[in-house]
């Protein structure tokens, strides 16, 4: 078994707690579904946001998901390089898996699809 990183990103329209929590839940739920994993397989989740997201910690959404109480989480700010995509939440999910690197499905939703157009279309249900 190896540890692999699964990337994901999404955006919100407003710096509002409920929207941030909803978007984070949606992103992580899709990452897990697309990669056929469960919380027990997750080593940790690194969460970053752009500096314009201040209404709540996105990790709060993950903590509220059933089965995720023991998964280590860390939040940080993205480097504010200009121009960068505003109101963006990114996840790096570290997972124990037998999958090869090319079998991992990274998930980009909403405006975040522009960050990695080369892999954004990989997911079965990219929005």
End-to-end alpha-carbon separation of the chain, Å? 31
In angstroms, the Cα distances linking 15 to 23, 48, 56, 112 are 11, 14, 9, 16
Q: Name the catalytic one among 4, 34, 90, 105.
A: 90
As beta bridge partners, residue 28 has none
Catalytic residue among 51, 63, 69, 103: 63
Asked if 116 is an active-site residue, the reply is yes
Identified catalytic residue from 22, 60, 111, 116 = 116
The two tokens of residue 74 are 């860390």
Active-site residue, 105 included: no
Q: Is 60 a catalytic residue?
A: no
Catalytic pick from 7, 22, 60, 111? Answer: 7
* CA atoms 86, 32, 5, 125: torsion sign: negative
Based on the residue annotation, tell me whether 75 is a catalytic residue of this protein: yes
Of residues 4, 34, 105, 108, which has the active-site annotation? 108
Query: Is residue 78 flagged as an active site residue?
Result: yes
Residues 19, 60, 75, 111: which is the catalytic one? Answer: 75
Active-site hit among 19, 26, 78, 111 = 78
Cα separations in angstroms, 5 against 12, 68, 86: 23, 17, 23
Residues with a catalytic annotation lie at: 7, 63, 75, 78, 90, 108, 116
């Amino acid at each position: 078994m190896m540890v692999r990183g699964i990337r994901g990103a999404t955006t919100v329209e407003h710096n509002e707690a409920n929207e941030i929590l909803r978007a984070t839940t949606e992103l992580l739920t899709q990452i897990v579904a697309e990669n056929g994993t469960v919380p027990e397989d997750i080593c940790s989740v690194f969460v970053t946001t752009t500096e314009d997201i201040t209404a709540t910690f996105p990790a709060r959404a993950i903590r509220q998901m059933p089965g995720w109480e023991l998964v280590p989480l860390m939040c940080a700010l993205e480097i504010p390089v200009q121009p960068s995509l505003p109101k963006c939440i990114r996840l790096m999910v570290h997972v124990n898996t037998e999958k090869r690197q090319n079998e991992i499905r990274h998930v980009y939703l909403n405006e975040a699809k522009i960050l990695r157009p080369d892999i954004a279309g990989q997911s079965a249900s990219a929005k």
